[in-house]
Amino acid sequence: MAGASVPLKPAAQHGSLASNQNYRFALTSLITLFFMWGFITCLNDILIPYLKAAFDLSYTQAMLVQFCFFGAYFIVSIPAGSLVSRIGYRKGIVTGLSIAALGCLLFYPAAAIEAYWVFLFALFVLASGITILQVSANPYASALGPEKTASSRLTMTQAFNSLGTTVAPFFGAWLIFSGAEHQAVSDASAVQMPYIMLAASLLVLAVIFAKLKLPDLGHSTETTATNADAWQHRHLKLGALAIFLYVGAEVAIGSFLVNFLNSPNIAGLTEAQASKYIAYYWGGAMVGRFIGALVMQKIAAGKVLCFNAVAAMVLIAVTVLTEGSVAMWAILAVGLFNSIMFPTIFSLAINGLGNAASRGSGILCLAIVGGAIVPLAQGMLADSIGVQLAFVLPAVCYLYIAYYGVKGSQPQSNEQGA
C-alpha cells in the first residue's frame, strides 16, 4: 500500500533548496524510510500464518495482527499531526523511527513469554511509529529539491515503498519460515532475530536523521476551512468509503495468500514456499503503477479505476470458482490491478475541494483503518465458509470501487443538491 499522511503544509517556500547538493544524501535517506515502512507493512503477511500456526489461532484471531496494525493509523494519525506541528518534521521523523524500533524490540519478549497479546501490542506500537513517520516524511520529499520536480520525487519515494513490499516476502520466508520447511511451527521464536535486525536498522536511520542538517519546514499551515466544510462534498464522503474498502481488500487478500496457497486443492505449497509468492502480488502493484501512469495520460482516471476494479472482481471470481494454478495466479494477479487504486481514489476524492482539500485529505487518511476492519471480517468468513469462498468479501469491495470510478467520484457538494 502506498504511504499516506495527514497533510501538513510547510509554512514557507523552499525554492533555494535546489542549489544545495547536501540534500541529496538527505533525499537518499528519506527514500530508505519509504522502503522500510513498505517492507514492514508487507511483513505482516508472513507474520500472520506464522503466528496462526505458533499459537493455534483461528483465522479471526490471526487477523487481529492487521486489526492492531492498521487500527493505529486511525487512532494515531490526528495526534501525530498535532505532535509534528509542535516539534517539527525532522524531529517527527526521529520520533517515529524510535517508536517503530521500540515496537520491533517488543517482539523479542513477546516470543520469549509466548504471549500473543504482547505481539499485538508490539504491532500497535510499531504501526504508531510508522504513522508518525508518514506524517513527517512526505513534506521533506517535496522540499528536498526544485519545486517543479516535487511530484517526481514523491512518485520516486512511493516506488521505493512498493519495492519494500515486493522484497519483504523473500526476507520473511528466508528468516521466519527457514526452520519450518521440514517441521511444523511450534513456537514464535523465529521472529525474534528478524525484528531485532529491523529495530537496529530503524535506530541507525534515527541517528542519521538526528544528525542531518535539514531545513526547518516549520509547522503546519492552518486554513479557514473546517472538517465540516470538507464533509459538504459528496464525492469526498464516497471517496473515504472507497479508500476504506480498497485498503481493506488489498490487505485482506495479502493476509490470506500464504494459507490459500498452502491449501492442497490450490498449490499445496509449504508456508515458506507460499511466502515467496506474495512478492508477485505486491510486485504486480509496483509494475502496475508505471503502466497506470501512462494509461491515465490518455484515459480519464475514473474510467481506469472502474476498469481495474472490474478486472479485480473477475480475477477473484476465477479464484473462487477454480482450483490449482489457475486459482493461484488469478488471486496473485489482483495486485497488478490494485496498483493505481489508492492514489486515483485519493486524487478524485479531493478534486474540487479548494481550501478544504487538506481537511479532506486528513479524512481520507483516517479511512485507511479499512485495513484493520475488512481483514478481520474476512477472517470471520474464512472460519465459517473457508478461505477460498471468503474472497467474495474483497470482490464486494471492488464492486463499490467500480461504482465510485464511474459515478461516485463526480464532484458534487451537498449544497448542490447531492
How far is Cα 178 from Cα 152, in angstroms, rounded to an integer? Answer: 39
pLDDT score for 105: 97
For residue 152, the model assigns a pLDDT of 58
Q: What angle do CA 184, 187, 193 make, to 5 degrees?
A: 110
Write down the CATH superfamily of domain 1-222: MFS general substrate transporter like domains (1.20.1250.20)
Q: For domain 225-418, give its CATH number from 1.20.1250.20, 3.40.50.720, 2.40.50.140, 1.10.8.50.
A: 1.20.1250.20
Provide CATH 1.20.1250.20 ranges for the chain. 1-222, 225-418
pLDDT of residue 163: 87
Q: Which residues of the chain have pLDDT under 50?
A: 4-19, 182, 220-222, 415-418
pLDDT at 294 (0 to 100): 85
List Cα–Cα distances, 292 to 15, 142, 149, 300, in angstroms. 30, 22, 20, 11
Model confidence, pTM: 0.84
Q: What is the pLDDT of residue 14?
A: 44
Q: From CA 175, how far away is CA 77, in angstroms rounded? A: 31
- pLDDT of amino acid 12: 40
User: CA 361, CA 350: separation in Å to the nearest integer?
Assistant: 7
- Give pLDDT, residue 59: 95
